[in-house]
Amino acid sequence: MPPGPAPQPWSSWWTHMTADQSEFDLRFEWGPRGLETLAPGSNAVVIVDVLTFSTAVTVAAARGAAVFPYRWNDGTAAEYAESRDALLASPRGEGRYSLSPGSLMALPEGSRIVLPSPNGATLSLATGSTPTFAGCLRNARAAAAAARSCGRRIAVIACGERWPSGDLRPSLEDHIGAGAILAHLDGNASPEGAAAVSVFEAARSRLPETMRACVSGKELIDWGFEDDVAAAAELNRDEVAPRLRDGVYSTVHSRSGP
């Protein structure tokens, strides 16, 4: 009896799986690999980092600011900010403006600011040519409407957090935030997208309490940033959908109505 086909390595088997959710309009995935898989076949990508990059970008955009996402712990950030005639956000709690959404509520209107972050900014810089928006609870309705204006195929990417080892830690706040955006969209949702909506609906009536009690929320509260957690929990507070063009997020006002 002739031998059968040689076993395929895991990576080869994975590349032949249907992982891009292409049969669905509304798609959901986690982190860099999820973005890499879903973005090429989507009309728009929404980057979700509720605590706190996407919330910070939304707060800044609501003040008409231009936000330049940048790599975390990169020694060239100051030089880059100078080249863009922009402020450089300080580490949280160390300067006037930082990744803290509360600090950006005092940002002068029309400011330009470079905002490094380990998750949201990093993924924002990896979306390629696919139209990209920053989404969170504060602008879930607006982000959904803006993404829909690009087409029906929308990928919502939850950034998640990191374990000390550097591995991705799926985070409750980003699962809820992604679900909130998907809940404002009509279309054929993937099972992953539908599950995210269910997570949001389960938490909807207790968003402030849930944000405070989740791992990322407790971490920020321990650091003294309880106000940032409260700001991130406000659903549809801002009617702006920051869109990334040429490396900068700028304001897109929602036309979704009340």
**How far, in Å, CA of 157 to CA of 39, rounded?**
9
Q: Place 93 in a pLDDT band, splitting at 50, 70 and 90.
A: confident
Is residue 59 a part of any domain in this protein? yes
Is residue 188 a part of any domain in this protein? yes
> Residue 188 CB: number of other CB atoms within 10 A?
12
What residues make up the domain containing 143? 24-63+118-244
pLDDT (tens digit, 9 = 90+) per residue, 68-78?
A: 999 998 899 99
pLDDT at 9: 47
Concatenate the DSSP letters of all residues of 111-125 into one string.
Answer: -EEEEE-TTHHHHHT
6 pLDDT more than 60? no
Q: What are the structure tokens assigned to 44, written together?
A: 């728009």
Is residue 28 a part of any domain in this protein? yes
- End-to-end C-alpha distance for the chain, whole angstroms: 70
Is residue 76 a part of any domain in this protein? no
Is residue 165 a part of any domain in this protein? yes
Query: Which H/E stretch holds residue 82?
Result: helix 77-83
**How far, in Å, CA of 101 to CA of 89, rounded?**
11
8 Å CB contact between 144 and 187: no
Average pLDDT of the chain?
92
**How far, in Å, CA of 23 to CA of 229, rounded?**
36
How many domains are contained in the chain? 1
Q: What are the structure tokens assigned to 115, written together?
A: 């905002």
**How far, in Å, CA of 116 to CA of 8, rounded?**
40
Lowest mean per-residue pLDDT among 86-100, 134-148, 225-239: 86-100
pLDDT (tens digit, 9 = 90+) per residue, 227-251?
A: 999 999 999 999 999 999 999 999 8
Q: What are the structure tokens assigned to 148, written together?
A: 């829909």
Of 31, 104, 100, nearest in space to 66 by CA: 104
Is residue 104 a part of any domain in this protein? no
Of 55, 61, 59, nearest in space to 243 by CA: 61
Is residue 199 a part of any domain in this protein? yes
CATH number of the domain that 141 lies in?
3.90.1560.10
Torsion sign across C-alpha atoms 199, 151, 44, 107: negative
Look up residue 90 and give its DSSP letter. B
Q: Place 92 in a pLDDT band, splitting at 50, 70 and 90.
A: confident
14 pLDDT more than 70? no
pLDDT at 254: 60
Is residue 95 a part of any domain in this protein? no
How far from 57 is each of 65, 88, 204, CA to CA, in Å?
9, 14, 22
Q: Place 37 in a pLDDT band, splitting at 50, 70 and 90.
A: very high
pLDDT at 253: 66
pLDDT at 12: 45
